[in-house]
Amino acid sequence: MLALQSPLDMHLHLREQEMLQLVAPLSARSFAGAVIMPNLVQPVNSRDRLVSYRRAIVSACGTDTFIPYMTLFFREYTREELLAVRQDIIGIKLYPAGITTQSDAGVRDFDSIAATVSLLEELDIPLLVHGESSGFVMDRETEFLQVYAKLAGNFPKLRVVMEHISTAASLEFLERYNNVAATVTLHHLLLTLDDVAGGLLQPHLFCKPIAKTPRDRDALRQAVLQGHPQLMFGSDSAPHPRHAKECCGCAAGIFSAPVALPMLVQLFDGAGCLEALQTFVTGNAVRFYRIKPPEKMVQLRQKSWRVPEVYGTVRPFLAGQELQWSFADQDN
């Protein structure tokens, strides 16, 4: 039996309405809290929108102990707006315009954002960034490092989170700045581009940033297993109905919420590094974000189970595969 104290998912998509009702309980079962992404059809970019969305999430999670750490979609905010919402958010999420799902309202000119970023630094509100350029898909994350360098260097007291990093170059960048941390997904610890497109195309493994090379995957895995202090778990679990994935122009996103914690345990256990898992799923996030998550003990046992082919309308990551660890109260 393994007990994890207040595990956290520091990057999560819960969507809205029926999809929210389907997926939120799966994360609430596994985690004590999660950082909720704001890129809905109508972005969460005001306090009213944020309060309404948080209320819907709490309702969908039922009686499970689970805190939705809310974010606002980046735009030009006034000092008064940020002061009014400061206690309701864990950070502001910045998307380059058009780079991923429902990000058309994102930033188009990074030279124009200094005033808002300066306010975030002054008010000690973290900036969470989807770090990709619009260049060649395999180079986008590395090309974006120059933007991170300007943010971290020009605003040294600003806490910056590089979301869902997928390259060895991003790891090397982290070593240069104490005010920067990064989230790492389960799928970027397991997949390479060959898994996505090396044989028949696997649309349910298509995500942004796209899975990279074996060298990138192995560098991320080694850093996480060795307890890198600037790395936090963020699933980037992003559900889409099957008809939106199994089609021309399929949506980007991997739905990993049901398997994230059991598969992480399996990965760390297989590498003989179980002692590092608590830091990855709780400790580093608590320290960087300066939060105190609710008390919640999540127990897992070494008993195999087969991942369902679908949850409602959504095909999960590792569908049909047998995992070696399950939740202690799980009916197999």
Q: Give yes or no for a contact between 22 and 312, defined as CB atoms under 8 angstroms apart.
A: yes
Picking from 9, 29, 34, the residue whose alpha carbon sits closest to that of residue 311 is: 29
Give the pLDDT of residue 332. 65
Do residues 204 and 319 lie in contact, with contact meaning Cβ atoms separated by under 8 Å? yes
State residue 149's pLDDT score: 97
pLDDT at residue 102 in the model = 83
Q: What is the pLDDT of residues 228-270, one digit of tens each?
A: 999 999 999 999 999 999 999 999 999 999 999 999 999 999 9
What structural domains does the chain harbor?
A: 9-260 (3.20.20.140)
Would residue 64 show up in a list of annotated catalytic residues for this protein? no
> How large is the average pLDDT for residues 182-193?
98
User: 150: which 2 tokens?
Assistant: 């300007």
Asked whether residue 10 carries a pLDDT value surpassing 70, the answer given is yes
Task: Characterise 320 by phi-psi region: left (phi > 0), alpha (psi -120 to 50), beta (else).
Answer: left
* Average pLDDT of the residues of the chain: 97
The single residue of 124, 236, 269, 331 carrying the catalytic annotation is 236
β-partners of residue 127 are: 92, 160
Task: Give tens-digit pLDDT for 68-83.
Answer: 999 999 999 999 999 9
Please report which confidence band the pLDDT of residue 329 belongs to, taking 50, 70 and 90 as the band edges: confident
Strands (E) located in the chain: 2-5, 8-12, 33-36, 67-73, 91-94, 127-129, 160-162, 180-184, 231-233, 297-301, 305-306, 322-323, 326-327
